[in-house]
Amino acid sequence: MKVATRFSHSIPKLVCPDGEDGLLISTKFLNKILRVDQENMTMTVQSGVTLKQLISEAAKAGLVLPYTPYWWGLTIGGLIGTGAHGSTLWGLGSSVHDYIVQLLIITAAEAVNNYAKVRTLENGNPELNAARVSLGVLGVVSQVTLKLQPVFKRSITLSERNDSNLGDEAATFGRQHEFADFTWYPSQRKVVYRIDDRVPANTPGNGLNDFLGFRATSSLVLAILRTSEEIQESTNDAGGKCSSAKLTTSTLKFGAYGFSNNGFAFTGYPVVGFHNRVQASGTCLDSLEDARITACPWDSRVKGLFFHQTTFSISLSKIKGFIEDVQRLVALEPRALCVLDLYNGILMSKDPMSPRLFEDFLEEVEQLAFFKYGALPHWGKNRNVAFIGAINKYKNADKFLKVKQSYDQLGLFSSEWTDQILGLKDGLIIVKEGCALEGLCICSEDIHCAPKNGFFCRPGKIYKDARVCTHLSSR
């Protein structure tokens, strides 16, 4: 049994019940804003309310949620369930679940209790900490109360620099600006820093963020992009892939990433605007029902972009080492990581047995992050490899599992896969032919790669403990 949302935007199998006869409980109609308390600056919503709805309804009351994901096509239940976040090192933190003050969760119960128990968890109740990021395994979150702030303005400047000092700057930059983030294009040796702070409400500007990557895009253009990438992959056209990556990043840059200073035109940085207009976007959600002539770029109903995201957090004390290791990899083969510049993701092959271009480099970055630097996975993204031992990285994991045991003794909301990622069952790693290519295993034998295509299991180039599928004849 699983809770399903109208979007199901998580990448891993979190939302899949076991087998063919599982049950899905939809939150599609749990879509009401229940209360806006202006005095206490809180808002109570049902869990199927979307981030977009929350932002616009809160703004009508002069309130905002300070840190949220950048894409607003997510439900509150889904995004807190996976620990989704925006970007800040300030305040309580960057995750939406940090701002929950009350949550209602419905768990299974015996027949005498009509099979359901409603629990109201308030701030201060240790069980609320388990329910904040429940991964959907505790029960159904039906409503959430969030602490908001009075609406404020921000001033945003995106500034491109080379990445030679990124190792040092990464740790300090986030402390200097409240909404700091940076997008790193390692193969181009460039970083786009987002210098982003609150400014007084009377600062002129009515900026808008309509991120280019979240706009309705022509299905024809998407199909051309996808086909050309598939051709570059199948012909080992590393140069072509890097040219496409440069075209993508320069299109973003010259389109000011979708920012405008007044809702229409971009006249230059800084873009000053109200928080509710600049934090998140996603106009492709509202694109016309135009027989899918346009779509969100990743819409699986059209031949659109097809990628998975390896997404993690590394503690600030270790980030320099990680960045420098990736820079060393790029120095060995500058074209290896162009795919990251292309769409902050990694191409998924339709044929799981066919390796990706620079498979070895991509696997090494993944293993560097999760095993050398102890990164924590984003629960709504990643491949199985990222979840190996993940639960042991959380000091309160046992407390979470105790709450799970008491809320759902029969494991009704668990699947084999959620038990595996929580360390309750073996089998997360699936060892079979080609398993490393799909992120189902770390290779230990050549057969886990694609020896017929020239890919063999070898140590990493920088991180010698890594085991990655390496193409031997061409390099």
List residues binding ligand FAD (CB under 6 A): 2-3, 5, 7-10, 14-15, 27, 47, 69-71, 74-75, 77-79, 81-82, 84-85, 134-136, 140-141, 378, 380
Of 141 and 146, CB closest to ligand FAD = 141
* Smallest gap from residue 154 Cβ to ligand FAD (A): 16
d(C-alpha 245, C-alpha 344), whole Å: 10
> Is the Cβ of residue 103 or residue 191 nearer to ligand FAD in the bound state?
103
Query: Least distance (Å) from ligand FAD to the CB of residue 470?
Result: 31
Q: Which of 90/447 has CB closer to ligand FAD?
A: 90
**Nearer to ligand FAD among residue 82 and residue 232 (C-beta):** 82
| CB 377 within 8 Å of CB 386 | yes
Pairwise CA distance, residues 430 & 433, whole Å: 10
CA distance 66 to 94: 8
Question: Which two tokens mark 228?
Answer: 């050309």
Say how far apart CA 441 and CA 388 lie, in whole Å.
9
Dihedral of CA 45/289/263/213: which sign?
positive
Determine the Cα–Cα distance for residues 81 and 61; give it in Å rounded to an integer: 26
Looking at beta carbons only, is 64 or 442 nearer to ligand FAD?
A: 64
Q: To the nearest whole angstrom, how small is the minimum distance from the Cβ of residue 76 to ligand FAD?
A: 8
State the Cα–Cα distance between residues 433 and 448, nearest whole angstrom: 5
Which CB, 139 or 355, lies closer to ligand FAD?
Answer: 139
At its nearest, how many Å lie between ligand FAD and the CB of residue 221?
17
Q: How far is CA 272 from CA 153, 157, 207, 268, 331, in A?
A: 7, 9, 5, 10, 38
Between 215 and 458, CB nearer to ligand FAD: 215
Q: Which residue has the tokens 């609320």?
A: 128
Residue type, 234: S
Instruction: Give the N- to C-terminal CA distance of the chain in Å, as an integer.
Output: 48
User: Cβ closer to ligand FAD: 69 or 439?
Assistant: 69
The helix/strand/coil state of 288 is coil
**Smallest gap, in angstroms, from Cβ of residue 47 to ligand FAD?**
3
Closest distance of CB 363 from ligand FAD, Å: 22
Q: How far is the CB of 128 from ligand FAD (least distance, A)?
A: 14
Q: Provide φ and ψ at 260, rounded to 5°.
A: -135, 160
Query: Least distance in Å: CB of 82 to ligand FAD?
Result: 4
Q: Which residues of 217-244 are buried (b: 16+ CB within 10 A; e: fewer)?
A: bebeebeebbeebeebbeeebbebbbeb
